[in-house]
Amino acid sequence: MVSVSRSALPEARPIPVRALLTRLEFERDILPAYKPVVIRNLVSHWPVVHAAQDSDEAVAAWLRAHANDQPLETFSGSPEIGGRFFYDDTLTGTNFERGQAALVEILDRLLGYRDDPKAPSLYAGAAVADGCVPAFANTHVLPLLDPRAMARLWVGNAVTVSTHYDLSDNIACVAAGRRRFTLFPPDQVRNLYVGPLDFTLAGQPVSLVSVKDPDLERFPRFAEAMSHAVTADLGPGDAIYIPPLWWHQVEALSPFNLLVNYWWNAAGAPPSPFEAMIHSVMTVRPLPPAHRDAWRAMFEHYVFEADGDPAAHIPVQSPGVLGRMTPTLARRIREFLAAGLRRG
């Protein structure tokens, strides 16, 4: 492998920082801009953040006092993976093992690993707080979102979550430890060398490039991606807003870390566009180039509305599938699509 250090690549720019952000300002200014923003001290009032100012043991003690024995999914890997949960060399397996453990057991293992230079990599992620720490939501309020937004816990040691995207809006709050976020705009998908779409590490496709140690001989366009990258280091109490489809790597920098994130759909919860893309891979991608160009024009017109409302000339009482999306229309479209798949 011919690799280069980060110093040989373009430097990622700092993510803009805000502080004292109100919910009104967040909804009015941040969400429509569709760009990541760091929000310093957003959750500095949280009990676990206060505990983090004391010690890792204090954070673990607070969680233990309120946790139940619900099993959480864990990822664990040998010291040789360097904290990077990833594929095996064939991209048909992984370099880590999945397991289950209660939060209290995970905390004990992490505290025990801290001073061991050959400790395994371990984390549990996306654990619904209401399920494993029932008191969390009531005692840790996120002022920018509806109180019904669901908190999820991510606890682990110095591990790296490979560059991926989320389908939903995301606010991630560092409660203990330090984390480095490196983000790429959605249009950099062409330069990130994304792995399999249907066999993923934890749900979403990931980039095959190591941000810390990129192989530019194998992945030469990644240098261009880095010229568009933005980054920030967050400590306890800090938060980051990540818009949907922004690619992001999350690197935990401490031997004991707690992150709390919230996913939500600002535009509602339609069926995933990802499935639509996969269907297009099956139906459009195999066509001759001229035919694909013709379908690109159809998509631009009907889906992306490059020419304005494609139903503007149709009587308002009969727009068909081009009408305003409602639950009834969505159900009708799903039935139409299901019938087509059955015919295939």
Q: What is the band of 86 on the pLDDT scale with cuts at 50, 70, 90?
A: very high
- Tell me the percentage of the chain whose pLDDT exceeds 70: 96
Query: Residue 157: pLDDT above 90?
Result: yes
The predicted model gives 9-28 an average pLDDT of 94
- Name the average pLDDT for the chain: 93
Q: How many Cα atoms within 13 Å fall on the side-chain side of residue 132?
A: 27
Give CA–CA dist 48/12, Å, rounded. 31
Strand locations in the chain (E): 13-14, 17-19, 37-40, 71-77, 97-102, 121-128, 151-156, 160-164, 169-176, 179-184, 230-234, 239-242, 247-252, 257-264
pLDDT digits (tens, 9 = 90+) for 294-319: 999 999 999 999 999 998 888 887 78
pLDDT digits (tens, 9 = 90+) for 225-270: 999 999 999 999 999 999 999 999 999 999 999 999 999 986 555 6
The predicted model gives 268-292 an average pLDDT of 87
